[in-house]
Amino acid sequence: MGRTWALISHLHALAGPSLTLIYPLYASICAMESTSKLDDGQWLAYWIIYSFLALFEMAAERVLYWIPLWYEVKLLFVAWLVLPQFRGASFIYEKFVREQIRKHGVKLHHGHGHDAGHAVHVLRAEHHGVH
């Protein structure tokens, strides 16, 4: 029983980083390298929602400590965000984040777009002999 419990504990500890960081990192790189913009939107939305979640956890750390299943609930929520069958991150961004931006009239700086920023990085890399 001791070894089984240790294995379950280790798998549980690996599930969080794998689901919240490693898989999204890999999928984000694949999205950036693909020609489709649809997957770019999903992964940009994921990182935005995940950032909100991380900030929420930092602010509410003392309260969340007392919620017994918070970590498991968070993992289920993040699974819904990242799994391609659900596209939860895109859904939340479209239905809530974008709605709040429009509702409050937030002005976004358009010079930080994917294409403009990417071109600057490519030019800098080529200038320094990196391809």
CB burial class (10 A; 0-12, 13-18, 19+) of residue 24? buried
pTM above 0.95, yes or no: no
Residue 64 tokens read as: 């969340």
Q: How far apart are CA 32 and CA 40, in angstroms?
A: 6
Residues in the chain predicted with pLDDT less than 70, given as ranges, are 1, 5, 7-8, 10, 110-131
Model pLDDT, residue 89: 96
Model pLDDT, residue 12: 73
Model pLDDT, residue 103: 87
With a CB cutoff of 8 Å and minimum separation 6, the contacts of 53 are 74, 77, 78
With a CB cutoff of 8 Å and minimum separation 6, the contacts of 129 are none
Model pLDDT, residue 119: 44
Residue 92 tokens read as: 């939340």
Model pLDDT, residue 42: 93
